[in-house]
């Protein structure tokens, strides 16, 4: 080899590399993105709260008279009907008091009969001035006293009959029973320690939840600004979701809203009532209450993945008719499923980028592609 050609051979790779770099300076293709066109429409709003079920009528079963508990007549935890006997007290002392009251009533009636006969005998004599007026007055007084004594004795009989009836303790409502607090042989009576058990009515059922002061103020502002429209007459529907996610088949309605803010929790208590004919709900269950009925008029919704977070807050990428993207700050509202309400920053008819936003820069051109079939579905 001619040594004079060796430097030229060494430069050839460099020259070819330079030519290759000049050929590779073609502009890269625009990034591919999937988009969604915004359509403002009236959108129902669902507010979800953690709630707890409560019996609409939880009745404590207590004794009205003093005595010994003789027998429990129901199966603990069973379903009982209104009027069903639950406990039997020893009735013998009460039966004896009733007989004594009846005897006293018979005695007072005999005295009344004697007083009436004496008055009937004195009246004609007094009319003929055959007896002094004082004797007539005494006869009238004895008759009226005897009549009053009869009424008092009759009241004692009624009270004794009531007390005897109270020895058989019945359920005032239809519902599920609890365990017996007192056992056979216990001495029971009216007072703080008189609780025997309780019965919880299951149909209808109450669903109670709390709403914070901030949530109330925010809802009020949205209603006043027109961003939220309440249902007619404020009749919200309440849908119940159970712990496993299944939806309870019956829809309830709000029946009570506490007027005062709880100083302990800083929340307002809300109560809904829902039918429970199959007794699927029991007191003390934790459920989710979904409040339906409010509507956002002409609301703008975008997928959650279209909203990005930056140093200045939330933003989206908007694509114009020429395929150029623009970074647009937005004010986001609450979620609705996998979408986000946009309170400010977007208008009806605009197009936002859903996928491919990470490779974008302000003012860049993009290529719009169809989303995958799974996302369309």
- Domain boundary pick from 262, 296, 330: 296
Q: What is the pLDDT of residue 222?
A: 85
DSSP string, 250-306: S-EEEEEE-SS--TTTSEEEEEEEE--TT----TT-EEEEEEEEEEEEEE-EEEGGG
CA 135 to chain centre: 75
Which one, of 23, 31, 36, 79, lies nearest residue 316 by Cα?
A: 36
Task: Supply the CATH number for residue 154's domain.
Answer: 1.10.287.470
For residue 216, is it within any domain? yes
Enter the tokens of residue 347.
């208008």
In a domain, 27, yes or no: no
Same domain for 148 and 206, yes or no, is no
312 and 324 co-located in one domain:
yes
For residue 12, pLDDT beyond 70: no
Domain harbouring 288, CATH code: 2.40.30.170
State mean pLDDT over 362-377. 73
287 and 319 both lie in a single domain: no
Q: Per-residue pLDDT for 66 more than 60?
A: yes
pTM: 0.72
State how far the Cα of 46 lies from the Cα of 126, in Å rounded to an integer: 90
> CB–CB of 318/302 below 8 Å?
no
For the cut 90, the answer to whether the pLDDT of residue 26 exceeds it is no
Q: From residue 69, how far is each of 12, 62, 90, 184 by CA, in Å?
A: 114, 12, 6, 5
The predicted pLDDT at position 218 comes to 87
Instruction: With a cut of 70, say whether residue 370 has pLDDT above it.
Output: yes
Residue 28 has pLDDT above 90, yes or no: no
327, 287: one domain: no
- pLDDT confidence of 375, banded at 50, 70, 90? low
State the pairing for strand pair 367-368/32-37.
Answer: parallel
On whether both 288 and 337 belong to a single domain, the answer is: no
pLDDT score of 377: 45
Which domain covers residue 339, as residue numbers? 300-376
Domain match, 343 and 319 both: yes
Q: Is 26 among the domain residues?
A: no
| Total domain count, the chain | 3
Q: How far apart are CA 129 and CA 126, in angstroms?
A: 5
pLDDT in tens, 121-168: 888 887 888 778 888 888 889 989 999 999 999 999 999 999 999 999
φ, ψ of residue 317 to 5 degrees: the values are -100, 125
Q: Tell me whether residue 34 is in a domain.
A: no
Chain mean pLDDT for the chain: 87
Closest among 301, 338, 289, 352 to 35, alpha carbons compared: 352
How would you classify the pairing of strands 237-241 and 187-188? unpaired
In a domain, 114, yes or no: yes
Residues of the chain above pLDDT 90, percent: 47
CB 287 within 8 A of CB 53: yes
Phi and psi for 328 in degrees, rounded to 5?
Answer: -125, 115
In a domain, 32, yes or no: no
Do 273 and 222 lie in one domain? The reply is yes
Domain of residue 324, CATH code: 2.40.420.20
| pLDDT-based confidence at residue 4 (cuts at 50, 70, 90) | low
Residues 315, 281 share a domain = no
Q: Tell whether 149 is covered by a domain.
A: yes
At 31, is the pLDDT very low, low, confident or very high (cuts 50, 70, 90)?
confident
Domain boundary (139, 166, 193) is at 166
> Quick check: is 24 in a domain?
no
- Please, what's the b/e burial string for 267-291 (b: 16 or more CB within 10 A of its CB; e: otherwise)? bbbbbbbbebeeeebebebebbbbb
What are the pLDDT digits (tens) for 157-174? 999 999 999 999 999 999
* pLDDT surpassing 70 at residue 183: yes
């Amino acid at each position: 080899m001619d040594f004079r050609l060796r430097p030229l051979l060494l430069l050839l790779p460099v020259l070819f590399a330079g030519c290759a770099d000049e050929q590779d300076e073609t502009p890269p293709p625009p990034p591919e993105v999937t988009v969604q066109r915004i359509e403002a429409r009236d959108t129902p709003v669902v507010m979800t709260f953690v709630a707890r079920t409560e019996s609409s009528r939880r009745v404590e079963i207590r004794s009205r008279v003093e005595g010994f508990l003789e027998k429990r007549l129901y199966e603990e935890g069973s379903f009982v009907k209104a009027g069903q006997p639950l406990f039997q007290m020893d009735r013998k002392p009460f039966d004896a008091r009733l007989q004594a009251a009846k005897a006293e009533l018979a005695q007072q009636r005999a005295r009344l009969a004697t007083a009436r006969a004496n008055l009937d005998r004195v009246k004609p004599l007094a009319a003929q001035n055959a007896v002094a007026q004082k004797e007539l007055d005494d006869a009238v007084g004895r008759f009226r006293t005897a009549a009053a004594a009869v009424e008092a004795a009759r009241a004692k009989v009624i009270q004794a009959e009531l007390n005897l009836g109270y020895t058989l303790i019945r359920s005032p409502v239809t519902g599920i029973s609890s365990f017996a607090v007192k056992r056979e042989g216990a001495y029971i009576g009216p007072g703080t320690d008189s609780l025997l058990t309780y019965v919880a009515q299951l149909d209808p059922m109450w669903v109670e939840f709390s709403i914070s002061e901030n949530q109330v103020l925010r809802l009020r502002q949205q209603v006043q600004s027109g961003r939220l429209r309440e249902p007619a007459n404020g009749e919200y529907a309440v849908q119940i979701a159970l712990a496993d996610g299944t939806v309870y088949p019956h829809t309830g309605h709000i029946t009570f809203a506490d007027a005062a803010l709880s100083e302990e929790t800083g929340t307002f208590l809300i109560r809904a009532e829902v039918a429970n004919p199959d007794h699927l709900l029991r007191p003390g269950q934790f459920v989710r209450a979904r409040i339906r009925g409010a509507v956002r008029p002409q609301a703008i919704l975008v997928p959650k993945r279209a909203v990005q977070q930056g140093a200045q807050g939330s933003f989206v990428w908007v694509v114009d008719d020429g395929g150029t993207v623009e970074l647009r700050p937005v004010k986001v509202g609450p979620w609705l499923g996998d979408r986000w309400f946009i309170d400010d920053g977007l208008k009806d008819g605009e197009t936002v980028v859903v996928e491919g936003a990470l490779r974008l820069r302000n003012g860049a051109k993009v290529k719009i592609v169809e989303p995958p079939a799974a996302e369309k579905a």
